[in-house]
Copies of this chain bind each other. A is one copy, B any other.
Amino acid sequence: MTVAAREPQQERSRQTRERLLAVTVDMLAHSGWSATTVTAVAEAAGVSRGAAQHHFPAREDLITAVLEEMFTEMTAEAAQTLDNLPDGPERIDLVVDRAVAIYTGVPFKAALQVWAAAASDEALRELILPLEAKLARAAHKLTVQGLDPDGRHGAQAHRLAQLTLDLARGLGLADTLSDDSARRAQVTAAWVQQLQSTLHT
């Protein structure tokens, strides 16, 4: 095969992989863990089962790739948000919004299905725990940087970042059964007020 022929093939392969991952996230969030098999994902993505299994031999490979992709996207988006944060008190607003957004989107609803399945599946739990820890560390680091860019609040900023992320996770869970956005806006505003008065901005 020539180099010229190989490149479009690699590009097609990359696109197939991306499509399989996107379908997996949607299917987990809307149809649940049991329904989300490699075969079902391949069918919904319009990809042959063989092609899907070439990328992801087993469901565990698909799930690991989905969580890795979530990690990459989350850190990229958060880093971009950080670069564009204003200096005034609305900075805190945006950091909290960003944290809440991590836990209220479709990817979180997909992750929730994986967590629920992992509660009774030790092999799955061992697989996702390191990814989960990596994600939690990255989210914490980015939230600390957002809340306390010059580091003058030290350990207090670290604690407030933890509170922000645990609160955001709780708000995410409250949104799984019904649209909780109106209540969430009030709770988020109350938390921003707490942060602003604690960090004196």
Q: A65 to B183, alpha carbons, bound, how many Å?
A: 28
Tell me if A168 counts as interface (CB < 8 A to partner B).
yes
Q: Determine if A166 and B176 form an interchain contact, defined as CB atoms under 8 angstroms apart.
A: no
| Range, interface on chain A | 35 or more
Tell me if A101 counts as interface (CB < 8 A to partner B).
no
B residues less than 8 Å from A29 (CB atoms): 119
Q: A182 to B59, alpha carbons, bound, how many Å?
A: 32
Q: A126 to B5, alpha carbons, bound, how many Å?
A: 54
| Interface set, chain A 79-127, CB cutoff 8 A to B | 109, 112-113, 115-121, 125
Which residue of B has the minimal Cβ distance to A31?
B120
**Chain A interface SS verdict (over half):** helix
**Which of B115, B165, B167, B194 is close to A176, meaning CB atoms less than 8 Å apart?**
B115
| Interface set, chain A 150-193, CB cutoff 8 A to B | 159-160, 162-163, 165-174, 176-178, 183, 186-187, 190-191
Tell me if A128 counts as interface (CB < 8 A to partner B).
yes
B residues less than 8 Å from A31 (CB atoms): 120
B residues less than 8 Å from A171 (CB atoms): 166, 170
Tell me if A58 counts as interface (CB < 8 A to partner B).
no
Chain A residues at the B interface, C-beta cutoff of 8 Å: 29-35, 109, 112-113, 115-121, 125, 128-129, 132, 159-160, 162-163, 165-174, 176-178, 183, 186-187, 190-191, 194, 198
Given contacts A115-B116, A169-B174, A170-B171, 15 further A-B contacts (CB under 8 A): A29-B119, A112-B119, A113-B116, A115-B177, A125-B178, A129-B177, A132-B177, A159-B190, A160-B190, A162-B186, A163-B187, A166-B174, A169-B170, A172-B173, A194-B198
